[in-house]
Every structure is written in structure tokens, then in C-alpha cells.
Chain A
Amino acid sequence: MTVVAVVAAGVVMILAVVLIVLALVYFLVSTILELRKITAGLDEVIGGVGEIVEKSAPVNDVVNNINTQLDAGVDLLEGLLVKKAGLNDAVGLIDGVYPGAAAAGLRQFPESTEVDAPRIGETYTRGTLSLARLGREAPIAAASPGNAVLRNVEGGSLAARQLYPDVRHESPENLPNSPTIGADAPVQYEQREDVGAPRKRLPARRP
């Protein structure tokens, strides 16, 4: 009896150990397979990130160069404007074209923020300011004193199309179709009844 009990207990223990080992094998192999998928995915990620790094490497230098060029252009224009118009009128002209821009001032002239900008829109004729608005492509002109926008960049095409008697600029859901023509057309535009019919009156005979 004791031997049987010992054997039974041993079998149960071996069975338990085998179950634990099987569970370990199943889950660890599954985990290994998932880790391999992760490795493959990370290889793709590294490839994509490498491309990003490669493509974006020269961007910094190029953008810095562009900014340097634009800074030089701005300095040139500011200097020329102040040289020719004087700081007061320069700030007033800028504020007339870009309302509120005088508060920011000119970069090369820090004292320009303290200038009491003259109201160029009132000082100069309407034609002068109109030319200025046209030259500056005019979204700024929307806020110009008392005048309508002469050329709106975003709606410029619409404004031009509205000059013509057409409904297309209103974006209707359906436009009238082009007329169907030909012998099989539903509407025959030559709707005279005598067309194709026998003559009602014969031409008079010649003597």
C-alpha cells in the first residue's frame, strides 16, 4: 500500500512538473515569435527614421540661408524707405498699408516704435493709397480707412468673374445641360410643319 501511494504521489508530481514545463514552452515560444515581429517592425521604423534624418539634414542650413537672404532684403527695403521718406512718413506709410504694423516698428530702427505715425490715408490722395494697395496685393486694404478692397488675393478670381452675367460663380448644384442636337434629338429646333411635307401650292407654270 505504501509503495502504491509513493508511486501515485510521484506520478502526480511528475505530471505537475510536465504541465509547468509545457506552459513555459508554449508561452515562451509565443513570446519569442512576437519579439521577432517586433524586431522586424523596428527594422522598418529604423529605415523610415533614417530616411527622415537623411532628407531633413540639409533643411536647417537652407532655411537659415533663406532667412538670411530675406533679412537682407527687409533691411534693404527698410533702409531705403527711411532714407527716402524719413522715419515719420515711412512708419505712416507702412501703417497706412498695413494697419497696426507701426506698433511693431522697423527692425533696423528701434526708435520707430516710438514714432506717432501720421495718417497717410488721410494725408495723401485716394489715388496714392489705391496704388499702394494694388502694389501690396491688398488683403491689408480690407482694414484701410474708408475704402473697399481693390484686389483680394483669396477672392480675386471670384471678384473678376462676378463682373460677367454668369451663374457659375455662385456654384449652383446643377448647371443646365448643353442642348442635344441631331436627328435623334428630343427637341428639334426646326419645328416648322411644312418642312418635309408636300407643297401646298404648286409653282405656276411658265407660259
Chain B
Amino acid sequence: MTLWWIGNAVLLLVILPVVVYLLRGVLEAAKSIVALVQGIATVAAAGSKDLDAAPLLLTTQDQVEQTVAGLANYGGSLDVILDDHEGPAR
């Protein structure tokens, strides 16, 4: 009988507080993760928005190609107009 009461006391004074403590820790961790995930979602959305201008790189690519092509034509003309350097390379 005495052991039964001791068991009850252990159940109420030790097991229950330990269970509550551990479960509260899990709950707090889950709550903190929610805030972090929301922050990550905001950053991901902002990062995606920042990349909206990425398709403009195609325009840049076209313009660079046209510029280099014009440069090649210009250089070809200069090559014809100007005399080459005479003498040693150095």
C-alpha cells in the first residue's frame, strides 16, 4: 500500500512535470521554426523578384554580339587603312 502511494507521488511530482517540460520544449522549438520558415519564404520571394530582370540578359547578349560585330568591322577597316607597325615586335 505504501509503495502504491509512493508510486502515485512519483507519478504526480516527477513524471508529470518531466512530461510537461519536454513537451513544452518541443512546442517552443516548433514555434521558433515557424517564424524562421516565414522569414525564409519572404527572402525566397524577394530573391525571385530580384531575378525578374534576368531575361534582360538576352537583350544584353544581343547587343554585345552586335557591338562586337561592329567592332570587328571597324577593326577590319582600320586594318586596311592604317599601315602595320614596321620593325621588330618589341
Interface residues of A (CB under 8 A from B): 2, 5-6, 9, 12-13, 16-17, 19-20, 23-24, 27-28, 30-31, 34-35, 37-38, 41-42, 44-45, 47-49, 51-52, 55-56, 58-59, 62-63, 65-66, 69-70, 72-73, 76-77, 80, 82-89, 111, 115
Report whether over half of chain B's contact residues are helix, strand or loop; otherwise say mixed. helix
B47 touches A76 (CB 8 A): no
Bound Cα distance A49, B89 (Å):
55
B24 touches A27 (CB 8 A): yes
B71 touches A73 (CB 8 A): yes
Interface residues of B (CB under 8 A from A): 1, 4-5, 7-8, 11-12, 15-16, 19-20, 23-24, 26-27, 30-31, 33-34, 37-38, 40-41, 43-45, 47-48, 51-52, 54-55, 57-58, 60-61, 64-65, 67-68, 71-72, 75, 78-79, 82-85, 87-90
Cβ contacts under 8 Å, A41 to chain B? 34, 37-38, 40-41
A86 touches B89 (CB 8 A): yes
B12 touches A34 (CB 8 A): no
For the complex with contacts A51-B48, A87-B89, 15 further pairs of A-B residues with Cβ separation under 8 Å are A13-B7, A16-B8, A27-B23, A28-B23, A34-B27, A37-B34, A45-B37, A55-B55, A58-B58, A70-B68, A73-B67, A76-B71, A76-B72, A83-B85, A84-B82
Q: Separation in Å of the B3 CB from the closest CB of chain A? A: 10
* Neighbour of A80 across the interface among B43, B58, B79, B87, CB < 8 A: B79
* Neighbour of B44 across the interface among A34, A49, A88, CB < 8 A: A49
Do A38 and B27 form a contact, CB below 8 Å, given A72-B68, A80-B79?
Answer: no
Q: Which residue of B lies closest to A14 (CB)?
A: B8
B5 touches A56 (CB 8 A): no
Cβ contacts under 8 Å, A19 to chain B? 12, 16
Cβ contacts under 8 Å, B40 to chain A? 41, 45
* Neighbour of A56 across the interface among B8, B26, B54, B85, CB < 8 A: B54
Q: List 7 A-B pairs, minimum CB-CB distance, nearest first.
A: A48-B44, A27-B23, A41-B37, A34-B30, A51-B48, A44-B41, A86-B85
A–B complex contacts, Cβ < 8 Å, 8 sampled: A27-B20, A34-B27, A41-B40, A48-B45, A58-B57, A73-B72, A86-B88, A88-B90
Bound Cα distance A72, B89 (Å):
22
Bound Cα distance A115, B90 (Å):
8
Report whether over half of chain A's contact residues are helix, strand or loop; otherwise say mixed. helix
* Neighbour of B85 across the interface among A16, A42, A70, A84, CB < 8 A: A84
Residue among B55, B65, B85 with most chain A CB within 10 A: B85
Q: Which residue of B lies closest to A8 (CB)?
A: B5
* Neighbour of A52 across the interface among B24, B51, B75, CB < 8 A: B51
Do A69 and B48 form a contact, CB below 8 Å, given A16-B8, A88-B90?
Answer: no
